[in-house]
Amino acid sequence: MAEALSDHDETDSIDSVVPSYREEAMGDDGDIINSAKKMRASGLSYEKVKVFSDGKCAEEEAVKYNNFKWTCCKINDTEQGTKKYYKCSFKRGSNCPAKIYLLFHASNFEVTLFQAIIRHDHTRECKQTGIPIEVKNVIIELFQNGYTTPKAILSELDKLKIIQPKASQISNFLVTLRKKLYGPAQISLNCIKNWCIEKSIIPNDPDECFVANYYIKDDDANPLFRLFVTTKNLMKNCLNSNHVCADATYKLIWQGYPVLMVSTTDKQCAFHPFGMALCINEQTDDFEFIFKSLQITVEKLYNINYCPIILVADTSGAITNGFINVFNVIEKRIMCWFHVTKNIDTRLNAIKDKKMKTELRQDIEFMQLIKNETIFDAAIKLFQKKWKSKKCPLINNFIDYFINEWYMSNKGWFEGFAIGYPSSNNALEATNGKIKSLYTFRERLPVGEFLSVLEKDIIHQLSRERNVDDIVTSQNAKSFANTPSINLSLWTSTYHWIKEEREVIIMKNNDGKKMHFIESSSFQDNYEDFNKEFMKKLLYNQQNVNWCDFDIMKGEQLSFWECEFLNESENWIKSTCSCPACLKYYICKHIIGLAARYKLCSIPLEAKNIPLGQKRKRGRGAKAKKALIVQ
């Protein structure tokens, strides 16, 4: 007990308070200086030079005093008045000690100029801070090539064997660079309005972007803006086509706003945009705005009432309603086949039987290739009858969905719905992907930055690619094609088809037109003789919709192709055929083959070069086996 008390007393005798830390300063001679005493810097001596009666005149004189360049570096408020200090800025990076200051007297309006009693020294260089100019130029070049993050830039600098600055320095420099190239990241409705007013003048340059139409509602509760940008060269394509492709794309703007695009396609399936619109939503009013902008701009540029009759889009009702509200009529509303298959495949995933799922998909693909609406209506009924007879709940649910969604509501997805027009928006979707990969580098940009990219890069480049009048771009420019083109591959397949000597029967169809009925490659799998009697039977079934089974109808329709051939030297390429190739690409080997048989065209020699053997496949080839072993 006594020992315990003794230990307790010793503990209390020790100081339990931890002393605070005091930093010790070192003098020039290495001795420790008391940190409580602050070292005062040696001040400069100044002499009075001149007195001014006006502060403005004094500041104008100060920045060019004694023919040197002076920059304001500090402002101090004292009892005498405000002192405004200037340093000598002979050149960037110099560390000249010369200084002056202006004293704005507190007691009166006079301003006195004082000069430090020290000579100029322009030989002294200050220590390099920040990123060197040479490295900045490399970073700018990398940024323009798509390296937009500090990590990616550091990796490229390492490959180039360039001394790397800090990642934080690169990050700060990129912020400054983006602001310089694209303007501020945040933007107000007033800034957008001023930008639209500035860009609304139609330029003389056909590839220069301008704002064709805009609408801004500056309301705190419900702010709204819409703007449509284009070029004179892009608007020219409105005169060549009577169908419009429209769609909205996302993931371009950080705020989540959609970008709307309107375009058309030519007979070579090439994409030709009219312009792009930036809106807050993608509702009926937004699409009505973009279609109205098209109509107004065409009338302003060419004094023509633009009124297309066919619309190609997905199932969006907003696009359809906006089109009708502007143009008052819509003859054909084509549903994009890609969006149809995308929705159908999602529903088909509920069916676990792979064989049934594959057969269902093949039947739908066959119906997409049907050549007219009468046969399509009959095929839908037989298709429903065939699959309802399976008495499978999952299949019944899918058939009910398919009939309601893709027959009763949205019917225009088969090729025969509008012959001579595209059945999908694939060209527009591909362009949206190109914009994201080449111009925004798959980054979501703020509105202000995106407007700059839209003006200087996207719209300008889309227009330049289609400028056939410019000598610089005319060689590779995408001109609007009114007739399909024939490449070497198509010439070759035509030559092989001619050599097969398939049967071609000339007779009138159900409408009384003289037609060429061509034996298909699948005919011999189901039938024996391709003759007039056989064709009369098929045409009778087709005219009277005399089918009781879906598979029988499918076999008959795929056994022949119906070609309306124009036996004219100049117009034969405008002939039509019911084969899938012609329905999708407006030209096929059957049309070219008939033209060659009628001596309206000749097969080029390059197409007749038949390669020997099989093309070597990818990967490592098999080694030669031992002798006397067949390989």
Q: Model confidence over 209-222: pLDDT tens digits?
A: 999 999 999 887 78
Q: Which helix (H) or strand (E) holds 277?
A: strand 271-279
pLDDT of 196 strictly over 90: yes
The DSSP result for 216-261, as a single string, is EE--SSS-EEEEEEE-HHHHGGGGG-SEEEEEEE-SSBTT---EEE
Average pLDDT over residues 162-172: 91
Of all residues in the chain, the percent with pLDDT exceeding 70 is: 91
Among the listed residues 371, 459, 360, 468, the one whose alpha carbon sits nearest the alpha carbon of residue 416: 371
The pLDDT of residue 481: 94
Of all residues in the chain, the percent with pLDDT exceeding 90 is: 62
pLDDT of 144 strictly over 90: no
**The two three-digit tokens of residue 481, written as one number:** 């094609």
Q: At what angle do helices 550-557 and 354-368 cross, to 10 degrees?
A: 50
Burial 397-428 (b: 16+ CB within 10 A, else e): ebbeebbeebbeebebbbbbbbeebbbbbbbb
pLDDT of 127 strictly over 80: no
Q: What is the mean pLDDT of the chain?
A: 88
For 483, the 3-state DSSP assignment is: coil
- Out of 3.30.420, 2.60.120, 3.30.1600, 3.40.50, the CATH code matching 189-336+447-464 is 3.30.420
User: Which CATH code for domain 46-116?
Assistant: 2.20.25
pLDDT tens digits, 377-396: 999 999 999 999 999 999 99
Q: Is the dihedral of CA 534, 540, 543, 546 positive or negative?
A: negative
- Residue 565's φ and ψ, nearest 5 degrees, are -95, 130
The pLDDT of residue 15: 54
Among the listed residues 94, 92, 90, 95, the one whose alpha carbon sits nearest the alpha carbon of residue 64: 90
Quickly state the pLDDT bin for 21 (edges 50, 70, 90): low
Between the alpha carbon of residue 629 and those of residues 270, 293, 402, the distances in Å are 53, 74, 57
CB atoms within 10 A of CB 57: 11
Quickly state the pLDDT bin for 589 (edges 50, 70, 90): very high
Tell which wins on pLDDT, 3 or 478.
Answer: 478
**The two three-digit tokens of residue 149, written as one number:** 């993050």
Between the alpha carbon of residue 196 and those of residues 52, 330, 497, 551, the distances in Å are 47, 31, 57, 59
What is the residue type of 246?
A
Between the alpha carbon of residue 498 and those of residues 484, 549, 563, 573, 574, the distances in Å are 20, 34, 16, 17, 20
Q: How far is Cα 62 from Cα 566, in angstroms, rounded to an integer?
A: 87
pLDDT of 22 strictly over 70: no
What is the residue type of 584?
K
Quickly state the pLDDT bin for 617 (edges 50, 70, 90): confident
CA triple 19-20-22, angle to 5 deg = 120
The pLDDT of residue 470: 87
pLDDT of 227 strictly over 70: yes
Q: Which residues contact residue 438 at a Cβ distance below 8 angstroms, ignoring those fewer than 6 apart?
A: none
Among the listed residues 60, 108, 471, 446, the one whose alpha carbon sits nearest the alpha carbon of residue 252: 446
pTM summary value = 0.74
Show the 3-state SS of 587-628. Answer: CCHHHHHHHHHCCCCCCCHHHHCCCCCCCCCCCCCCCCCCCC
**The two three-digit tokens of residue 573, written as one number:** 């390429």
- Backbone conformation region of residue 81, classed left if phi is above 0, alpha if psi is from -120 to 50, else beta: left
Average pLDDT over residues 99-103: 92
Q: What are the helix and strand counts (H, E) for the chain?
A: 22, 18
Could you state, in order of their start, the residue ranges of all structural domains in the chain?
46-116, 133-182, 189-336+447-464, 338-417, 488-608
* Cα dihedral: 422, 424, 429, 434 (round 10): -50
pLDDT tens digits, 70-96: 989 889 989 889 999 999 887 766 778
**The two three-digit tokens of residue 505, written as one number:** 């029967």
The pLDDT of residue 510: 73
Q: How far is Cα 382 from Cα 374, in angstroms, rounded to an integer?
A: 13
- Residue 246's φ and ψ, nearest 5 degrees, are -135, 145
Out of 7-21, 62-76, 85-99, 583-597, which region has the weakest mean confidence (pLDDT)? 7-21
CB atoms within 10 A of CB 293: 25
Measured between its terminal Cα atoms, the distance across the chain in Å is 103
